[in-house]
Amino acid sequence: MFNTPYGLKLNITQVAEEITRFMKANPQSRYKIVIGSDSDGFEPANLIDFVTAIVVCRVGNGGRYFWRRTELGKFHTLRGRIIQEVMLSLKTAQEILDVLKTMEAPDFDFEIHADIGEKGETKTMISEVVGMIRANNFEARTKPDSYAASNVADRHV
């Protein structure tokens, strides 16, 4: 189930309906749907908390987002955790796109945002992660342009 900022819980079909409704409310605008994930560890359970966000932007004029939390066992390396974030984003992207294809959604651009960048420990992973995303036929964004992962999902981990 996905959460809204208002505390509602929606399944993937309901999220797609909300996205479509949002886009149809202003059909002359340009839209972008973005998926991003972030993670954080917490004690004492040694679990990693993953949050995946679906963001729909009315380019230049606001947007909406939905998020879900997944708790998984301990990851021993940062690389393993980042790869899991990307895999969750890719899975969510396929889920939402499969449902949106069945609806009469207006045209939109689509991106996957990865919580990695040129600064910090993750800089050595950029080509690997971007390659994973592009291999799945999605546009990839990294920091500082990966707001769905580094801002929206990060807010809920």
Predicted local confidence at residue 47, as pLDDT: 79
pTM of the model: 0.94
- Rounded Cα distance between 108 and 34, Å, is 10
Nearest to 33 by CA among 96, 133, 109: 109
The full set of domain ranges for the chain reads: 2-156
Predicted local confidence at residue 40, as pLDDT: 87
In this predicted structure, the answer to whether residue 87 has a pLDDT above a threshold of 80 is yes
Predicted local confidence at residue 151, as pLDDT: 93
How much is the mean pLDDT over the chain?
93
pLDDT in tens, 18-76: 999 999 999 999 999 999 999 987 655 677 889 999 999 999 999 999 999 998 877 77
Architecture label for domain 2-156: 2-Layer Sandwich (3.30)
- Rounded Cα distance between 61 and 3, Å, is 22
In this predicted structure, the answer to whether residue 6 has a pLDDT above a threshold of 60 is yes
pLDDT in tens, 136-145: 999 999 999 9
